[in-house]
Amino acid sequence: MAMSRLFVGLVAVCGWGLAHAQGAVQQIEAHQHLGVASCASGVCHGATQPFKDSNVWQNEYSVWSDSDPHARAYRTLLSTESKRIARNLGIPNAATASMCLDCHSDNVPAAQRGEKFLITDGVGCEGCHGGAQEWISSHTNRDVAHADNVSKGMYPTDEPVARAKLCLSCHMGTADRMITHRIMGAGHPRLAFELDTFTWLNPHYEIDEDYVSRKGEFNGARDWAIGQGIAAYNLLDVLTNDKTGSHGIFPELVLFDCHACHRVMSGKRWGPRPGTGLGPGVVRLNDANLVMFRHVLALVDPSAGDRLAGQIRGLHQATTQSRSGTNEAARTLMRSLDTSLQTVAAYNFSEAGLGKILASIQRDADRGEFRDFSAAEQAAMAAQSVVVAFDTAGKLDEAQANRLSGLVDRLYATVEREDDYQMANFTGAMRALTASAR
């Protein structure tokens, strides 16, 4: 299929090696940011209706300012909620603190801000598409290829590895843009992200014929899979980083499963999770993304998947022994992820194999692996992406599509309220879905 070849080509151009690649934040900040106003004119991206004979809608600014939450990200820092968070943290003003602006605006260094740049615009166009200094004038020419724009500093948001790194820099936090348990403790909402689901929540773009000819094919299952791999890598990267991995005598708690600590004491709800091999009363790393990536490999490269399962268990074990052992186990996993991500990126996610992913998740559910809310939440988002991928590939008739979408809704309902999560309900809903998708 053309898609996978195209994609492999792109990877070769961009260079691989997650550990050594320039980070998303550095790429975004490499050129001057001219400001949202530079994109917003009526003949550029500020139309009120989509243009008929243009490759892109050209009303992206209107969509963004009317309905995209990124447009209000800065304003959020002025809210009562943010004021309370700031007070709890002992900082004078959330709207001037880098600790908040890094994710709630396009917080490039002063030297990289053009005349029309406004920090109050929140997460503007260039916060995702990169500083436009070098490409603003040429990118409007239809004869200029997307790759030429990218070579001038446009960020490749179409490319799933790059997109995952970009979105997760704010939606999970990385060493560059860190969210800590102190910020959570002050009242910040817990962050949860899944690349495919979130890419389609407020789109100002669509995948049509000309999109595919310019940028290659989109595949939701592939994007889900890559998003899991990059998120798992980020967690380990933050964990093994001296600056971000610990706080005083404790490790950075944001990297752990919130419900390992935040649960009622009278619950007597403990039960074994074979995938960790941990006993009762132990704080568990949040391995939700690692576990999901293992389900990806169950389809793409089963023997690598089994190896990963052993390494995940090894990491959990190491956390009960020593800091240095933990770092070593984490680095082993990072190397495996690095290699496997290349296999996954080049894999042709045809509809036939997708049932295997659901079946793999199901096997875990039957073994009691979904005790942890965050893993169950990721599994629900995974199931949705997989079902949508079945549907987009034209593999489902209308009745099947409706039935499966009802079952996905039922699965979602079991993870809707974090504090009332019951594993048995989740497992039951997962079983119904897998049986129906077969």
Contact residues: ligand HEC, CB under 6 A: 36, 39, 45, 55-56, 60-61, 64, 69-70, 72-73, 76-77, 79, 81-82, 85-86, 89, 94, 97, 99-100, 102-104, 123-125, 127-129, 157-158, 163, 166-167, 169-171, 173, 177, 179, 181, 183-185, 188-191, 198-199, 201-202, 204-205, 211, 215, 253-254, 256, 258, 260-262, 283
CA–CA gap between residue 148 and residue 245 (Å, rounded): 38
Give the span between the Cα atoms of 325 and 103, in whole angstroms.
32
Q: How far apart are CA 307 and CA 317, in angstroms?
A: 15
Distances (CA, A) of 422 to 37, 203, 268, 384, 405: 48, 33, 13, 20, 21
Nearer CB in complex with ligand HEC: 118/184: 184
Q: Closest approach of Cβ 19 to ligand HEC, in Å?
A: 21
Assigned token pair, 43: 């003949």
- Determine the Cα–Cα distance for residues 183 and 38; give it in Å rounded to an integer: 34
Cβ distance to ligand HEC smaller for residue 188 or 222: 188
Cβ-based nearer residue to ligand HEC, 253 or 393: 253
Chain mean position to CA 374: 14
Q: How far is the CB of 428 from ligand HEC (least distance, A)?
A: 26
What is the rounded CA–CA span in Å between residue 345 and residue 5?
Answer: 10
220-240 and 288-300 helices, crossing angle to 10°: 130
Q: Which CB, 184 or 401, lies closer to ligand HEC? A: 184
**DSSP assignment of 223-241:** HHHHHHHHHHHHHHHHHH-
3-state class of 205 per DSSP?
Answer: coil
* Element containing residue 250 per DSSP (H, E): strand 250-251
Least Å distance, CB 43 to ligand HEC, is 13
Least separation in angstroms between residue 212's CB and ligand HEC is 10
Nearest by Cα to 426 from 377, 381, 393, 387: 377
Nearer to ligand HEC, 259 or 356 (CB): 259
**Matching residue, tokens 């941990």:** 278
The one-character DSSP state at 246 is E
Q: Which is nearer to ligand HEC, 263 or 431 (CB)?
A: 263
- 130 vs 275, beta carbon nearer ligand HEC: 130
CB of 108 to ligand HEC, least distance (A): 10
- Hunting for tokens 């209308």 — which residue is that? 398
Question: Minimum distance from CB of 274 to ligand HEC (Å)?
Answer: 21
Considering beta carbons, is residue 123 or 329 the nearer one to ligand HEC? 123
Task: Give whichever of 124 and 275 is closer to ligand HEC, judged by the CB atom.
Answer: 124
- Token pair, residue 232, equals 């798992």
CB of 394 to ligand HEC, least distance (A): 22
Among residues 45, 39, 74, the alpha carbon closest in space to that of 62 is found at 45
Nearer to ligand HEC, 217 or 301 (CB): 217
Smallest gap from residue 96 Cβ to ligand HEC (A) = 11
Distance CA 85, CA 80 (A): 9
CA triplet 274, 277, 279: central angle to 5 degrees?
110
Least Å distance between CB 60 and ligand HEC?
4
What token pair was written down for 111? 């030297």
Least distance in Å: CB of 404 to ligand HEC? 23
Residues in the chain, overall count: 438
Contact between residue 233 and residue 241 where contact means Cβ atoms under 8 Å apart: no
